[in-house]
Amino acid sequence: MLDGPELNAPVSDGSVPDGSVPDGSALTAGDIRDRVRQFLAATNPVSTPRQDFLHARFDAGLAWVHYPPGLGGLGAPRALQVVADTEFAAAGAPDNDPGGNAIGLGMAAPTILAFGSGKQRKRWLRPLWTGEEIWCQLFSEPGAGSDLASLGTRAVRDPGGDWVVSGQKVWTSLAHQARWAILVARTDPDVPKHRGLSYFALDMTAPGVEVRPLRQLTGEAEFNEVFITDVHIPDADRIGEVGDGWKVATGTLMNERVAIGGMSMPREGGMIGGAARAWREHPERRTPGLHDRMLRLWAEAEIARLAGLRLRQQLAAGQPGPEGSAAKIVFARLNQEISGFEVELAGAEGLRYDDWTMRRPAHADFFGRGPGYRYLRAKGNSIEGGTSEILRNIVAERVLGLPSEPRVDKDVPWKDLPR
């Protein structure tokens, strides 16, 4: 592990290091570049097998540089991650296919880091980052979407202290490929709904887990419904304390909204990229009205990009807050407007796109698809990761300080709520 002058120093046991480990917060962009170049000199990105290269990069602390030493990082400022990624990309090094494990990298990993034990961090973070183990998210249910705390999946403790879980989850991206899932289940029905939840890692290969695909508007089966029937979960796979599931889940959801709404993109490398290219390549399609919309959308996309960079800088101070909800609202609205503009700009060909039936997360290929696909897929942006309506409530209450909506079920035991 690279936490000093040596490239192969010992790796920690996965716990947060003590004061004997050098403080990575003093590292600069130049330090990160030097470390990456030393690493590349010792580990050829062309001749080294891809998985071996990713293992070595993680162990050198150059996976996510802001994580602690021994867990793929150096304890460096979060803003320096882009420095490491840029250096590796310039060298033609293999990446860990971030689009193929977006839930693991954007949601499961920060949750495990914040709430997991040392053994859990050591067990899960390395194969998660290298892509050897894909993760999915088992939160939403047919009767518990926006009101997630009303979920009914039950986890009952067996005589040995482990858990037996039964229930149904829905809208689960990557469930058909996942090795692990982050799961929220009800462990105490006798207390109000927010207080009776616990958080687990579920082995998706365990007996009793059934995944069924859900076909969507674009033609693909990106999402799934998951049936959980008497599935055994060791207590060692519980993340956080019993009854703290809502607290842990809130941390996960905040990270999800930052991942969706605060994506770090180069200028014209994200939402507006396709529209800007089409505008330059097809001057014959331009009209004064479209010109006005193009300017407005470009400006809003640039504002969103810069706001996303600012949000990521704020994350260096700790866990994400409600600001991520605002970023996600803006992303959903703007992405839908831009994709609609692209379709209109493309004219009669706007809604055509090749059949795409790969069951792969849409965010992995969204910006590489045609305007017709993007137009249809963007309709889900205001639903997934928290509906825009719910997120506006969060912003109103937690950012603007407005009065909260009346909650008549706040102090009622979950078992007594009408369903």
Number of domains in the chain: 3
In a domain, 337, yes or no: yes
**83/148 same-domain check:** no
Residue 391 token pair:
């997120």
340, part of any domain: yes
Q: Cα separation of 56 and 4, whole Å?
A: 16
The answer to whether residues 90 and 144 belong to one domain is no
What is the C-alpha to C-alpha distance for residues 348 and 334, in angstroms, rounded to an integer?
Answer: 23
Looking at residue 362, its pLDDT comes to 47
Instruction: Supply the residues annotated as catalytic.
Output: 256
Of the chain, the percentage scoring pLDDT greater than 70 comes to 84
Would residue 276 count as lying in a domain?
yes
Residue 298 pLDDT: 93
Residue 398 is encoded by which pair of tokens?
Answer: 């937690």
Do 395 and 286 lie in one domain? The reply is yes
417 pLDDT higher than 70: yes
* Residues spanned by the domain of 221: 135-243
Average pLDDT over residues 135-161: 95
Residue 370: per-residue pLDDT = 78
Residue 78: pLDDT band (50, 70, 90) is: confident
Say whether both 382 and 362 belong to one domain: yes
Domain boundary among 243, 261, 276: 243
Are residue 385 and residue 258 in the same domain, yes or no?
yes
Instruction: State residue 11's pLDDT score.
Output: 35
Structural domain includes residue 17:
no
Domain CATH number, residue 363: 1.20.140.10
Over the stretch 166-212, which tens digit does the pLDDT of each residue have? Answer: 999 999 999 999 999 999 999 999 999 999 999 999 999 999 999 99
Give the global pTM.
0.81
pLDDT at 354: 64
Q: Is 276 helix (H, G, I), strand (E, B) or coil?
A: helix
Domain-ending residue, one of 47, 67, 95:
95
CA distance 12 to 274: 44
pLDDT tens, position by position, 300-337: 998 888 877 776 666 554 555 666 778 888 889 999 99
Q: How far is 285 from 308, CA to CA, in rounded Å?
A: 31
Query: Do 329 and 280 fall into the same domain?
Result: yes
Instruction: State yes or no: pLDDT of 226 exceeds 60.
Output: yes
Residues 157 and 227 in one domain: yes
Question: Is it the case that residue 89 has pLDDT exceeding 70?
Answer: yes
**pLDDT value of position 79:** 83
Task: State the pLDDT at residue 383.
Answer: 86
Question: Is residue 2 very low, low, confident or very high in pLDDT (cuts 50, 70, 90)?
Answer: very low
Report how far apart, in Å, the C-alpha atoms of 311 and of each of 253, 262, 308, 323 are. 15, 7, 5, 8
106, part of any domain: no
- Residue 143's domain is classified under what CATH number? 2.40.110.10
pLDDT of 7 reads: 29
Same domain for 256 and 394: yes
Buried b (16+ CB within 10 A) or exposed e, 24-35: beebebebbeeb
Both structure tokens of 203:
């082995």
Q: Count Cβ neighbours within 10 Å for each residue of 280-312 and write b for 16 or more, e otherwise.
A: eeeeeeeeeeeeebbeebbebbeebbebbeebb
What number of CA atoms fall less than 13 Å from residue 66's CA on the CB side?
19
Q: What pLDDT, on the 0 to 100 scale, is given for residue 157?
A: 98
**If you search the block for the tokens 């990160």, which residue do you land on?**
32
Tell me the average pLDDT across 27-54.
97
User: Does any domain span residue 411?
Assistant: no
Same domain, residue pair 321 and 392: yes
- The residue out of 243, 277, 302 marking a domain boundary is 243
Max CA-CA distance within the chain? 73
Same domain, 284 and 389: yes
Q: Which of 117-121, 226-230, 343-347, 360-364 has the lowest mean pLDDT?
A: 360-364
Tell me whether residue 124 is in a domain. Answer: no
pLDDT averaged over every residue in the chain: 86
SS3 of residue 222 by DSSP: coil
Residue 76 within a domain: yes
Statement to judge: residues 74 and 201 lie in one domain: no
| 218 and 163 share one domain | yes
pLDDT tens figures, 275-293: 998 899 899 999 999 999 9
Structure-block tokens of residue 222 = 């990106």
User: Dihedral through CA 6, CA 8, CA 9, CA 10, nearest 10?
Assistant: 180
